[in-house]
Amino acid sequence: MGQISIKIPGHFSAKINTHATWDTRDNTFYPTTGVLISGKISRAGITDQAFGNLLTISDRSYYKGVASASTYNAIGEHGVLAVIASVCGAGRDAPFFDSCGVGFSDGLRGFGTLDNLQNWSASAQVEYRGRFSERFGYVAFAGLGGGGESISAISTKNGGAAAGVGLRYRIAKKFGLDYAVDYAVNDQGEAFLYLSLGQRF
């Protein structure tokens, strides 16, 4: 799958993505069994010019890769244990909006989206999902992540641990689609509230 875009005069960006996915989940929105493994590798180029494109300010390219694996296991009649691990790596010339980081490229709750941007990051999350009724459900989750300038330098100093709870309201019983409200606190004492459609992973 490829994507090419031209943003503004004097700025050109092009990006080519390659995706691979293995999916054995029993449901896309609310899986109770199965495995999802996905990977994406992209190469992008960015050129910035000025004075009617007569002066090139910067001309750079970079690679980025993201891989994740998640499993889903039914517990009892209404419970589900979901686990996900992910790793992200981006070249040093990647712009901030296409870099890696805990809470940014992995969706780990409990961290500011742009607080831990790094060239490399890795994280793991575990979540228990239960139901009060056919319409209402709840989750309890915990996660750990870190980042660094290289894969060998990944550290929880650029991330950390977080945990929280959430409520679910099923808006489509046929598809298992929930509206989600999550509250998370990290090991620095910071609290975050999340509103989303569907599960986090």
Which pTM value belongs to this model?
Answer: 0.84
The residue among 62, 61, 64 whose CA lies nearest residue 19 is 64
Residue 79: predicted pLDDT:
97
Tell me the pLDDT tens digit for each residue of 30-72: 999 999 999 999 998 877 655 555 555 566 789 999 999 999 9
List CB contacts of 156: < 8 A, sequence separation 6 or more. Answer: 144, 145, 146
10 has a pLDDT exceeding 70 = no
Tell me the pLDDT tens digit for each residue of 139-190: 999 999 999 999 999 999 999 999 999 999 999 999 999 999 999 999 999 9
Phi-psi region of 53 (alpha: psi -120 to 50; beta: other; left: phi over 0): left
Q: How confident is the model at residue 6 (pLDDT cuts 50, 70, 90)?
A: very low
d(CA 29, CA 176): 6
- The CB density around residue 142, as the number of other CB atoms within 10 Å, is 16
Single-letter code of the amino acid located at 63: Y
